[in-house]
Amino acid sequence: MIETTISEVQDEDDRAATRALLMDYGRALDFAICFAGFEREVEALPGLWLLARAGGGPVGVVGIAPDADGGCELKRLFVRDGQRGSGLGRRLCQAALDAARAKGHASIHLETLPSMAAALALYRSMGFEPRAVQPAVASDGIIQLEKRL
């Protein structure tokens, strides 16, 4: 079995691999995500990003970005097709929760879509609960979840 590692994005090689995964993420979605500043986010990579590699190649990514109320947002959890169903999404999510706690965040929230059934099941199994809808990001179909840390 090929070893899979998860580590914080550190250098330009990591950033390039992260950007490539995020572009794959963008192409995998059924709707345009540019409305949310996706392209700027991919270029800047704000916050903390965790990169999963298997056999040296990038296979998954997740980010956390601080918000104004002492919490943070879980950003863009993505696992390439060949690694789906392996538990890597859960490992990335747990690594993000651990990083958020280590940074002193009181809570973590996220946005997802009803069509992302596997992601919804993962988040719910990890203790995320419905969040009061935030008007600034409210949009038809977007599901907002939160977890106290």
In the chain, which stretches have pLDDT less than 50? Answer: none
Asked, for residue 128, whether it belongs to a domain, the answer is no
Asked, for residue 47, whether it belongs to a domain, the answer is yes
Convert 85-99 to b/e letters by CB count within 10 Å (16 or more is b). Answer: eeebbebbbebbbeb
Asked, for residue 52, whether it belongs to a domain, the answer is yes
Asked, for residue 77, whether it belongs to a domain, the answer is yes
For residue 116, the model assigns a pLDDT of 87
Residue 17, classed as helix, strand or coil, is: helix
The tens digit of pLDDT for each residue in 24-52 reads 888 787 555 555 566 666 666 678 999 99
Rounded to two decimals, the pTM is 0.87
Residue 89's domain comprises 4-105
Of 118, 124, 121, the closest CA to residue 147 belongs to 124
Asked, for residue 21, whether it belongs to a domain, the answer is yes
